[in-house]
Each structure stands twice: as structure tokens, then as C-alpha cells.
Amino acid sequence: MTNQIFTSKLKVIFFLLTLLASKIGVSQTCTGPFVFSTQSEVDAFIIDNPTCTQIIGDVFIVGNAIHSVEAFHNIESIQGVLYIEGTILNNVWGFRNVRSVYSLQLINVPVFNLHGFINLQNVDFDFILAGTGNLTNLAGLYDLHTIGGSFIVSGTSISNFSGSRLISVGYFNVIGNNNIYNFNGMEYLTTIYSGMSVINNQNLQNFNGLSDLSTINGYLYIRGNNNLISTNGMNSLLSVKDITMIENPSLVHVDGFPNLNEANSLSLTFNPNLSTVSGFNNLNRLEYLIISENGSLNNISAFNRNFLVGFGIITYNLSLSTCHVVSICNLIDRAPHLITIVGNATGCWSKSEVDAQCMGSMKSDDNVQKGEDNDLNARSNFKNSDVYPINKLLSPNPGNGIFQVKLSNDVLSNLVVINIQGQAVYSANQQQGIVNVDISTMPSGIYMLHIQNEEGNFIIKMIMN
């Protein structure tokens, strides 16, 4: 009897100590991973772990019947991944005391806000918001200043970034968000440590909101944003490693980098309405410059400055007639083998044409003509990728849509016709002397015929009436 009484007293003492610990806030760790697929499993967490405030390990909450995470209201840190997918949660208020988490991922969760992370201060690795169809902004992330890995916003209904106080992230990837018009709300962001991708955001118009962003220690990749008009908004950006802008059909002006002074490469390709590049007025050095197949581009005045370009490609910009800007002329003079100029408008049609204009008054008209003739003779030997004389290969030109191309017999040639938007409208592989190229179903205008075979590469301007 005495032993039974003693044992009962010990149980009471243990219960009281446990209760006291929970009341005075003594923290306790619980070790995962934890996997929850039903609401009853979630609710059981607080029962099984009444004093747990720190989770060591991953937490997976996956289930289309889970509607509440209140059972986690004691948790202050998660030293692992908090992964929530496919639930019917409309809020995450149960995580309101969490201050740090290794990685946070919300996938296909219909939350209306992020107020449940109101005390979150640090995400060590990735923070992913994907398919959160009811989420319109970042309200609730007022204390979150640093994301060590990627901040990915993909396929959401976010229209702005209000609520964000982010200062630095590893990567910033904004992909497939059709309601975003700009980056308003990201005014605190100053540093991206690795790279930024902005892809397929159909209503994005500019980069307003990134006014304090000064450093991207990696790439800036902008692609497939159908309504992006301008890159305006990153006026404080001082350095970035690589800039790529490709297939942004409404992009008209690249004008948002007035203070950028360091970049390794700049690539502008397949932006059919891009007309001016004027936003790099403080750039001191550029290792690689690629400007290709921007059908409306007619102004590269941003490069009319005495700064170093290491390697250049300027090709198939059918409206670009002025390429004899200072930095390009310097490159042609210093290392002509490191720059390719092909298939732009008259005045920038070939490297020799640009070189002649660069020389200006330093060459007499006779010397210029002599240089042109020598260049054409060199091209007729099929040794250089440059512009070949039109009347040698193509007839009639102008034409009504059916053109004859004269090729060398028994040489397999690849033929591609490109329109002013940079789109291929005809392609064929031929191995015969005379080939009919039929683009009669295409609208009237200017096209480029690209011929590639073992004898060389040739670009011919085609005019269809």
C-alpha cells in the first residue's frame, strides 16, 4: 500500500512539474520528421507534445481536409523544412509564434494572407509561394528581413509585394504571376546574393518598387513577360554579373539602369518592339555584348561612350542603321575578330560598313570603296560569316513571295527565313543548285535569309512587295 501511495504521489508531482513548465515558458524540443495528412493528426500534435516550442526536423502538412494549424501555436522555431501543400487552409495563424525556420514552402494552399508569420524573422534557406491563388500581397511578413536561399513567387495571385520588409535574399525568382504589374512593396530590398529571374509574368509592366536594390551578385534574367514595356525602376543598381532580356514582346525601352557601373555580360535578343537602349550611361566595362534579332531596335546610344567592350555580337536587328558608336568602334579597331556584325539595316549591315563609318573622315571615299570591294571579294570565297552581295544569290529581289536562291551543287545547305520580329517563317535543308523559297503567304515587308553550309554562313536581306 505504501509503495502505491508513493507512486501515485510521484505521478502527481510529475504532472504538476509538466504543467508548471508549460506555464512559465520552459522550452522543449521535439524531434521530427513529422508528417500530417489529416486534421486529427494535426490536432494530436499539441496533445502529444504539450511543451514543445522547438521542432528539430521537417514538418510536412499535406492533405485536402486540413483546415487548421492551431495545434502549432506554441512553436517558436523549426530547424527543418515547413512544407504545406494541398490543404484547405485559409490562414496560417497557428504559426504566429514562429521566429525562425530553415525553409518555408506553401504550395497550392488557398491562404488569404500571411499574418500567421507575423513574428517570423529569418528563413535560412528557401521560401516558396506557389499556386497560392487567394494571396494578393505579402502582408504579415513585417519582421522577415533575410532569406538565405531562394525567394520564389510562382503562379500566385499576388498583385503587389506590400507587407514585405526583406532586405536581402539569395535568389529572387518571380515566375508566372499574371496579376503582378510591378514590384511595389519591395522598397527595402538592397541585395540579391546570387540571381534574379523574372519569367512569364503576363501583366508586368516595369520594375518600379526596386528603388533601393543596389547589388545583384549574379544574373538578372528577364524573359517572356508579354506586357513589360520598360526596365525602369532599378535606378540604384550598381552592379550585376549578367543581364539577359529575351522574348519580351512589348519591351520598348531598356532605360532603367542609370547608375550601373559593373556588368560582365549584356544580352538583348528576340525583343521585337525594343527600340532604344539608353539606360547604361555609367557602365565602365562589359565583357560580352549581344544584341540580336530585335526587329525595331534603332538606337544603341547608350554605348556611344569610351568604355571597354571585350566581345560583341550585333546581328539581325533589321531597323538598326547606326552602330558606329564609340565603344563598338574601339572594339573593331582593337580586336576585329572579337565582334560580329551581320544583317542589320543599311549603315550597320556588316562589320566593314560600320568600320568605314567609324573611320569617318580618316578615310577618303575612294579608300572606303576599295575596302568595301576587297571585303566583298573575301566574302565571295565563302570563308567569312558576313553579308554576301544580294545579286549573287537571290532573285528577284524585291519579289512577290517566291524567290530563287543559287547554291553550290552537291553542297547541303540549311536555309532559314526570319521576319522582322525575329521569328523563323521558313526553313529547309537543300542540296541542289537552284532552290525556290516560297514565303508568299507572309505579309509584305523585310525578311532575312540565312544560308549555312560547309562553305560558310550568309545573310541576305529579302524584300517582299
Check whether 291 has a pLDDT greater than 60: yes
CA dihedral 290, 292, 294, 298 (to 10 degrees): 70
Check whether 375 has a pLDDT greater than 70: no
Fold of 388-464: Immunoglobulin-like (2.60.40)
Fold of 26-166: 24 nucleotide stem-loop, u2 snrnp hairpin iv. U2 a'; Chain A (3.80.20)
The whole-number pLDDT of residue 392 equals 55
d(CA 109, CA 45): 21
Question: Quick check: pTM over 0.85?
Answer: no
- The answer to which of 25-34, 38-47, 77-86, 382-391 has the lowest mean pLDDT is 382-391
**Residue 63: all three cell numbers together:** 492533405
Assign 239 a pLDDT band (cuts: 50, 70, 90): very high
Nearest to 234 by CA among 278, 268, 187: 187
Tell me the DSSP string of 326-356: HHHHHHHHH-GGGEEEES-STTSSBHHHHHH
DSSP tag of 360? G
Check whether 112 has a pLDDT greater than 70: yes
Assign 21 a pLDDT band (cuts: 50, 70, 90): very low
CA dihedral 399, 402, 408, 413 (to 10 degrees): 120
d(CA 435, CA 394): 10
Beta-sheet pairing, 146-154 with 168-175: parallel
CA dihedral sign of residues 189, 246, 282, 229: negative
Please, what is the average pLDDT of the chain? 85
Are the folds of 26-166 and 388-464 the same? no
Tell me the DSSP string of 202-270: TT----TT-TT--EEEEEEEEE--TT--B-TT-TT--EEEEEEEE--TT--EE---TT--BEEEEEEES
Place of cell 555580337: 313
Residue 312 has phi, psi (to 5 degrees) of -140, 145
Task: Summarize pLDDT for 299-353 with one digit per residue, the tens.
Answer: 898 898 888 898 899 999 999 999 999 999 999 988 888 898 999 999 999 999 9
The whole-number pLDDT of residue 455 equals 65
Place of cell 529575351: 246
Check whether 93 has a pLDDT greater than 60: yes
DSSP tag of 399? B
Give the domain ranges of the chain. 26-166, 388-464
Report, as an integer, the average pLDDT of 120-139: 96
Nearest to 420 by CA among 356, 344, 352: 344
